[in-house]
Amino acid sequence: MLEWLLALSIVILGAVIWTASKYFGTQREPDAILQGLGISEQKYVSDRGVPLDVVDAQTPDRASEKKVPAVALICKPSALQLYRMHGVDLATSAILQTVYGACWPYESRVHFVRDHLQLSDDGLVALDWAVSVAGASYQKRRRTSSNSTSPILLIIPNSFGKITRNVLKLCEAALIHGYLPVVFNRRSHNATPLSTVKLQQFGDPGDLREAVRYVRYRQPVSRLYAVSESTGSGLLLSYLGECGSSSYVTAAACLSPVFRCQSWFENGPIWPLQWALVIYQKICLSRYRTVLGETVHTDTLFSSCSLRGLEEALFCHPQSPKAYWERNDPLRDVDEVAIPVLSVCAQDDPIRGDPQSTLPLELFESNPHFFLLLTTRGGHCGFNTPEGSAFSGGGTPGTGWSHRALLEFFRATTDFIAAEERVKQAARRRGLGGSSQGKSFRHRSVSTCKRLPACSHSIHTIYNWQRSYTR
């Protein structure tokens, strides 16, 4: 315990020193940062398809100042442009926001009911269903009912298995907005028993695929949405890419994702944060040291001082690191993603690193399914506003800005799909009632309607929407 407190003190000291050096010793103008990324003004697109110079401008005088927006949407112009973006006043310190969101204690009003899911290879993963304190028993009964139509929010935490206050607050916000949140825990994560010697690789979506099938079995008439946090986005993007139009997910969002994962593991974040992550991962793995010794060189594992060393010791024997990342790169099948995906990122993210080399802007500019909501500040999974932060003395923090953004994204996506379906149904009714095309046309329309599944959220409907959306 004393060693852990000492390590935490050193991490905080290093974070304060690094923040001070970044604050006083570097250029802080947001326009210089965006220009360094090579982003032109035309890459900011409003919900009306108009390029934006200043998103938070409220008067012509402010608009003429040509300041870079605090929030910018970067995407390929398409039928789904959801945001009339407004300026947002985010807390200043990226390091403080990051440490606050990951380590600061939080008395959550949400309780969890756990399901252990046995996989095809006898491994175990855990699904934690979030229920409110006041209605825990009611929510438990409702969760087990297959007649519930409440949308399901599948939450994938970071790849280290830590349930952060960011995840807990997201569960609270989802419950308030009528979702049924469920947290996916990988093998051995968050007190999940390790029943086999196999751990889940960084970008292997096999376990997640079985978990999604189970959720669909338990709630067959509910829409499914997915949210990932930090390095957990690697698993979500791998799943969406491998499954394509058969993912059963209506829309997805990634909070502070890490896209260039191999480079991130090789270079790592700044040393205080990397050291803290390495210590935390070693503590979690130490309880399985004996059983892991059957397949892993534990001496090499627990003597590693970097994230790269830990990952290679766990999974790169006997394969090479190059072969490992070819099979676990989250962007390996990104062209197969068939649903809208929102990524919320901050330019001052201390975990992800330099935005110029870590953000695949070409992906958002060329693929109509990917949207990047880029802020000048926010840290890593932080995005705390002064009025919603515990630092401001305002009491219990409210819903985080990033959580409001992704829930609005899901709502707008659902409305867009519903509008598309209404247009299609109206066209079918006109086709069935028309006489100019004769019996042959009516026969084709009837057969098309018969092929439509009963559930509006089925994968066939999502696939049909995807085809209409990309036109």
The residues annotated with a catalytic role in the active site are 349, 380
For residue 153, the tally of other CB atoms under 10 A from its CB is: 27
- Alpha-carbon distance of 117 to 125, in angstroms, equals 5
Contacts of 150 (CB under 8 A, 6+ apart): 142, 178, 179, 180, 222
Q: How many CA atoms lie within 13 A of 303 on its CB side?
A: 5
- Alpha-carbon distance of 178 to 189, in angstroms, equals 27
Whole-number Cα distances in Å, 217 to 98, 145, 147, 211, 363? 37, 11, 11, 10, 33
- Alpha-carbon distance of 366 to 41, in angstroms, equals 16
Retrieve residue 215's tokens.
């959720």
DSSP string, 270-301: -HHHHHHHHHHHHHHHHTTHHHHTTTS-HHHH
- Alpha-carbon distance of 304 to 195, in angstroms, equals 25
Q: What are phi and psi of 377, to 5 degrees?
A: -130, 170
| Closest of 464, 466, 451, 471 to residue 424, by C-alpha | 464
Would you say 263 and 306 are in contact if contact means Cβ atoms under 8 Å apart?
no
Contacts of 196 (CB under 8 A, 6+ apart): 121, 122, 123, 187
Q: What are phi and psi of 378, to 5 degrees?
A: 145, -20
- Alpha-carbon distance of 371 to 340, in angstroms, equals 8
Would you say 89 and 386 are in contact if contact means Cβ atoms under 8 Å apart?
yes
- Alpha-carbon distance of 183 to 185, in angstroms, equals 6
Element housing 115 (H / E): strand 110-118
